[in-house]
Amino acid sequence: METGSVFQSFRKGGSVKPDRFSEGSVADIVKRYAKAAGLDPEAISGHSLRAGFVTSALEAGADLLKVMDVTRHREVKTLKAYDRRAKAFKNHAGKGFL
């Protein structure tokens, strides 16, 4: 398995630069595409990608420890904060009987 940054800069010729994107650069890109998709860019950040990965992986039945390995979380409690499934029923009209 190769390691390295997922988001890296490119030169004009298409070769990959050795430096990675900053967190701010990733957030700017995510917000720009969110806006283009008609979403509120203020409600989305670069961290939304991480939360989306965690939520999707766990929803698909991925092993919790494997998800933690990918995200480099050391504590289940920390990973749990990224799982958006638990928030789906927050303030839901039927939460008393669900």
Q: Which of 4-18, 19-33, 59-73 is least confident?
A: 4-18
pLDDT exceeds cutoff 70 at 50: yes
Beta-carbon contacts of 49 under 8 Å, excluding residues fewer than 6 positions away, are 26, 30
Q: Is residue 94 part of a domain?
A: no
Q: Is residue 63 part of a domain?
A: yes
Whether 70 contacts 56, CB under 8 Å: no
Choose between 2 and 33: higher pLDDT: 33
Beta-carbon contacts of 54 under 8 Å, excluding residues fewer than 6 positions away, are 67, 71, 79, 82, 83, 84
Q: How many domains does the chain have?
A: 1
Q: Is residue 4 part of a domain?
A: no
Q: Is residue 24 part of a domain?
A: yes
Q: What is the DSSP letter of 6?
A: S
Q: Is residue 95 part of a domain?
A: no
Q: Is residue 93 part of a domain?
A: no
Per-residue pLDDT band for 92 (boundaries 50, 70, 90) equals low
The pTM (predicted TM-score) of the whole model is 0.61
Whether 54 contacts 47, CB under 8 Å: no
pLDDT exceeds cutoff 60 at 98: no
User: What confidence score (pLDDT) does residue 36 get?
Assistant: 95
